[in-house]
């Protein structure tokens, strides 16, 4: 498939894709969309920034429009018709759930209704919104379970399930919640799993949840988009880490944005405070911030009002801010998967981007072993 035209999409969606300037599907979209439209269960792997969101949203929107889904919340709905959503999308973080819903709203006609359900906001807000019986619910597991345990959300009519960042959803932190959610769904359904990374163990677990899944892996062995460069500095002390990050942020070109990842909340707080001085253009996101603060900060970052965002791994997965041109790791990330996803916040949709690590002399050896395993090229830079 070389153009979206070959898919003969419904007109609203086709128009919106054209308005976005997207003529050709990305490789994962070309591979996954036809399979998803055929009704196949799917295990789809493709690098960060390669368009996985639309790879699952396009088939959902097509289904909703072609099958003329009706909302039970609509005044004309028949009494007793199911108020259950038809599709459920699961995501690991609140910001990602919101982003997926924003993306859906960009491409779906208003008749295809949706709701993002996630923690950190009053649950009443979701109860009220669920009275409209949205057709597509996008949520984080914890809040979804809270809501599904009440009369406000019935999941028995769900026909399509998507897990974005599926390897994280099936990892220790979420697995039990996911298993409980799957138990609330009908056995007869289509399930689609997407991620840039799947470990062999998670792949086996994932396959056990799917029926005769089609497996699509775009560019197997490519762990990080080729247009992302990787480089590192070795610094003698903690104080020089902060100084170096300050210099790197200052040196970045106008219009470019940066994300800085730390492995601990207190480090994010401390670093943001030290960097925030002059142009107050540095924001911070961790699990300690209130949800309202998190959303405000991310909105300011997306709009360009904030030039830099310091964050924990809560912002490492899925977030799509196309003008992020550099990702700085405050220290060696705890594991290769985290490294790949953090780095993947830049180099979106074939743009170029830079990943920079700040390492202590002790971390260098471990880092080099990590990139070797990932088959990524890196180089040591001289301190500025
Ligand atoms: P992933 O989930 O694979 O990390 P996203 O779905 O977030 O990637 O998409 C990354 C970027 O690519 C987004 O800014 C999106 O708008 C853009 N994009 C998606 N599909 C296309 C396409 N067919 N052509 C060009 N850009 C696209
Ligand atoms: Mg994604």
Describe the crossing of helices 11-19 and 94-107 by its angle, rounded to 10 degrees: 110
Q: What is the mean pLDDT of residues 296-316?
A: 96
What is the DSSP pairing of strand 42-45 with strand 282-285?
Answer: unpaired
- Ligand 1 centroid to residue 54 C-alpha, Å: 7
Is the pLDDT score of 278 beyond 70?
no
Q: What ligand 1 atom has the least distance to the C-alpha of 46?
A: 3
Q: Which ligand has the shortest distance to the CA of 92?
A: 2
Ligand 1 pocket list (CB less than 6 A): 22, 25-26, 29, 46, 48-54, 320, 322, 348-349
pLDDT of residue 74: 61
Mind listing the pLDDT tens digit for each residue in 135-176? Answer: 999 999 999 999 999 999 999 999 999 999 999 999 999 999
pLDDT of residue 253: 87
Question: Which residue from 21, 47, 53 has its CB within 8 A of the most atoms of ligand 1, so it is best to mutate?
Answer: 53
- pLDDT band, very low/low/confident/very high, at 109 (cuts 50, 70, 90): very high
CB atoms within 10 A of CB 354: 20
Residue whose CA is closest, atom 19 of ligand 1? 51
- pLDDT band, very low/low/confident/very high, at 295 (cuts 50, 70, 90): very high
- pLDDT band, very low/low/confident/very high, at 220 (cuts 50, 70, 90): confident
Is the pLDDT score of 180 beyond 80?
yes
Q: What ligand 1 atom has the least distance to the C-alpha of 20?
A: 16
Residue 249 CB partners (closer than 8 Å, separation 6+) = 258, 260, 275, 282, 307, 308, 328
Phi first, then psi, for residue 44 (nearest 5°) are -120, 125
Give CA–CA dist 10/102, Å, rounded: 20
CB atoms within 10 A of CB 25: 23
Residues 90/141, Cβ–Cβ less than 8 Å? yes
Handedness of CA 299, 302, 307, 310 (dihedral sign): positive
pLDDT of residue 221: 82
- Ligand 2 centroid to residue 165 C-alpha, Å: 7
- Ligand 1 centroid to residue 219 C-alpha, Å: 16
Question: Which one-letter DSSP state was computed for residue 78?
Answer: P
Q: What's the mean pLDDT when you consider all of the chain?
A: 94
Is the pLDDT score of 277 beyond 90?
no
pLDDT of residue 70: 83
Full DSSP string of 184-205: TS-SS-EEEEEES---HHHHHH
């Amino acid at each position: 498939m070389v153009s979206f035209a070959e898919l003969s999409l419904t007109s609203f969606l086709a128009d919106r894709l054209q308005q976005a300037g997207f003529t050709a599907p990305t490789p994962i979209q070309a591979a996954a969309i036809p399979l998803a439209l055929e009704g196949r269960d799917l295990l789809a792997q493709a690098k960060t920034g390669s368009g996985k969101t639309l790879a699952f949203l396009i088939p959902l929107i097509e289904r909703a429009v072609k099958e003329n889904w009706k909302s039970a919340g609509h005044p004309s709905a028949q009494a007793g018709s199911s108020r259950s959503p038809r599709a459920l999308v699961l995501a690991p973080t609140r910001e990602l759930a919101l982003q997926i819903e924003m993306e859906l709203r960009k491409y779906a006609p208003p008749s295809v209704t949706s709701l993002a359900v996630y923690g950190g906001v009053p649950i009443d807000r979701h109860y009220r919104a669920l009275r409209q019986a949205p057709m597509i619910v996008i949520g984080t597991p914890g809040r979804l379970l809270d809501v599904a345990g009440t009369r406000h959300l019935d999941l028995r009519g769900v026909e399509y399930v998507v897990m974005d960042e599926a390897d994280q959803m099936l990892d220790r932190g979420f697995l039990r919640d996911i298993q409980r959610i799957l138990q609330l769904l009908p056995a007869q359904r289509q399930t689609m799993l997407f991620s840039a990374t799947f470990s062999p163990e998670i792949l086996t677990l994932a396959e056990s949840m799917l029926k005769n899944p089609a497996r699509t892996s775009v560019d197997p062995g490519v762990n990080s988009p080729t247009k992302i460069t990787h480089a590192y500095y070795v610094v003698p002390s903690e104080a020089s880490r902060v100084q170096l990050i300050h210099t790197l942020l200052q040196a970045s070109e106008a219009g470019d944005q940066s994300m800085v990842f730390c492995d601990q909340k207190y480090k994010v707080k401390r670093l943001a405070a030290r960097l925030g001085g002059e142009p107050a253009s540095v924001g911070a996101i961790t699990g300690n911030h209130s949800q309202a603060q998190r959303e405000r900060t991310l909105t300011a970052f997306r709009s360009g009002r904030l030039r830099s965002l310091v964050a924990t791994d809560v912002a490492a997965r899925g977030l799509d801010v196309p003008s992020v041109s550099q990702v700085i790791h405050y220290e060696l990330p705890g594991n290769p998967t985290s490294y790949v996803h953090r780095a993947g916040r830049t180099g979106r949709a074939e743009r170029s981007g830079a990943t920079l690590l700040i390492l202590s002399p002790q971390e260098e050896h471990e880092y080099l072993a990590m990139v070797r395993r990932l088959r990524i090229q890196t180089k040591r830079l001289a301190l500025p």
